[in-house]
């Protein structure tokens, strides 16, 4: 409305600044209150077994139902939550919410992502055990997804994982192959599962090197007696190739996108009702 005039010169820069959201709170401020305001949701992405594509697990992924911007994906706010220190509160909410859903799908491993900040807090393992107990979840059903770089930070994360592993909770290494790979971690820490980052899956058919790395990781997992989950599978060709290379599980848009809980219910019902095959896809 008011282009500011100073010495006869219209200052459009000031004008633009005001229009650009001077009255709206920053995403940062909004995220500070989002958990308490009940704006977070969970969606669930199926994990399938190979080669049969049966439902083999579910990963909980966080979404933010933003009042102005609509439903935001985790990529759009988890890094911010880590930066501004909201991640511990957010992570606690995610864990409790996910564990509450676990009883709805008692036969399925439920994966929950955990941030470095959570894993470095002294009270983390106690908190997880409390949430598992209070929600009545079977410890064995919970799989915590952590990344490689989280594990080299200090001894605290390793200690938490050992305590939780003794309780029956499982650990998956997420985005495997993209962090600082200290392969020592694979033998000294209680790791049950390797999730091969989707960049290796994406280059499967593009280059011989991509396939070679995927194959090496899958072999490593097999030798160490771990489940191997290929992430970001988008095509039938990738699914076939991964099966040939020995992946035991997979996840990606080709099988299913992250879905609201009610759609997971539908898939489980359809899956059980189909006695001729256990395939997840319609
Ligand atoms: P992630 O744990 O590796 O999750 C996989 C991400 O890839 C998800 O994005 C998922 O929607 C996406 N994705 C799944 N299949 C495909 C596919 O076929 N193609 C492609 N291009 N993408 C696929 P999202 O939900 O945006 O999450 C991004 C990251 O944010 C996650 O990576 C995880 O590190 C983090 N995150 C998500 N939810 C939580 C949470 O509750 N707590 C914490 N600490 N981190 C979370
Ligand atoms: Mg995304
Ligand atoms: Mg994950
Ligand atoms: Mg990942």
pLDDT at residue 271 greater than cutoff 80: no
- Burial classification of residue 257, based on how many CB atoms lie within 10 Å of its CB (0-12 exposed, 13-18 middle, 19 or more buried): exposed
Distance CA 181, CA 24 (A): 42
Nearest-5° angle of CA 236, CA 238, CA 241?
110
Instruction: Return the pLDDT at 2.
Output: 40
- The rounded Å distance from CA 154 to ligand 2 centre is 28
What is the per-residue burial (b if ≥16 Cβ within 10 Å, else e) of 109-134? bbbbbbbbbbbebeebbebbeebbee
Instruction: Return the pLDDT at 17.
Output: 45
Question: CA nearest 192: which of 164, 211, 155?
Answer: 164
Read off φ and ψ for residue 236, nearest 5 degrees. Answer: -60, -35
Going by alpha carbons, the residue nearest to atom 33 of ligand 1 is: 113
Instruction: Return the pLDDT at 181.
Output: 63
pLDDT at residue 176 greater than cutoff 50: yes
Beta partners for 83? none
**pTM for this one?**
0.90
Instruction: Return the pLDDT at 207.
Output: 78
Distance CA 51, CA 155 (A): 38
- Burial classification of residue 172, based on how many CB atoms lie within 10 Å of its CB (0-12 exposed, 13-18 middle, 19 or more buried): buried
Beta partners for 170? 143
pLDDT digits (tens, 9 = 90+) for 54-83: 999 999 999 999 999 999 999 999 999 999
- What is the pLDDT of the chain when averaged over all its residues? 88
State the average pLDDT over residues 108-114: 97
Cβ of 78 less than 6 Å from ligand 1 = yes
Ligand having the closest approach to the CA of 62: 1
Cβ of 258 less than 6 Å from ligand 1 = yes
State the average pLDDT over residues 4-30: 57
pLDDT digits (tens, 9 = 90+) for 178-200: 877 678 888 889 999 999 999 99
* CA 156 to mean position of chain CA atoms: 21
Instruction: Return the pLDDT at 24.
Output: 81
Cβ of 252 less than 6 Å from ligand 1 = yes
């Amino acid at each position: 409305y008011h282009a500011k005039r100073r010495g006869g010169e219209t200052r459009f820069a000031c004008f633009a600044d005001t229009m650009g959201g001077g009255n709206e709170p920053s995403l940062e401020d909004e995220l500070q209150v989002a958990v308490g305001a009940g704006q977070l949701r969970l969606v669930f992405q199926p994990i399938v077994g190979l080669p049969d594509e049966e439902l083999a697990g579910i990963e909980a992924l966080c979404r933010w139902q933003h009042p102005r911007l609509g439903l935001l994906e985790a990529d759009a706010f988890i890094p911010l939550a880590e930066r501004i220190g909201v991640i511990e509160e957010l992570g606690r909410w995610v864990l409790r919410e996910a564990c509450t859903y676990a009883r709805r799908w008692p036969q399925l491993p439920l994966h929950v992502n955990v941030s470095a900040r959570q894993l470095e807090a002294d009270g983390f393992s106690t908190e997880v055990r409390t949430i598992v107990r209070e929600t009545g979840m079977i410890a064995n059903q919970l799989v915590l997804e952590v990344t490689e770089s989280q594990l080299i930070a200090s001894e605290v994360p390793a200690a938490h994982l050992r305590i939780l592993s003794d309780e029956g909770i499982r650990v998956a290494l997420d985005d495997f192959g993209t962090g600082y790979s200290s392969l020592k971690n694979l033998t000294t820490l209680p790791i049950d599962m390797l999730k091969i980052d989707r960049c290796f899956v994406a280059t499967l058919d593009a280059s011989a090197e991509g396939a070679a790395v995927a194959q090496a990781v899958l072999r490593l997992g097999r030798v160490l007696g771990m489940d191997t989950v290929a992430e970001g599978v988008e095509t039938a060709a990738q699914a076939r190739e991964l099966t040939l290379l020995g992946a035991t599980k997979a996840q990606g848009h080709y099988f299913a996108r992250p879905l609201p809980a009610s759609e997971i219910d539908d898939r489980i019902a359809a899956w059980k009702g189909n006695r001729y095959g256990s395939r997840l896809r319609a």
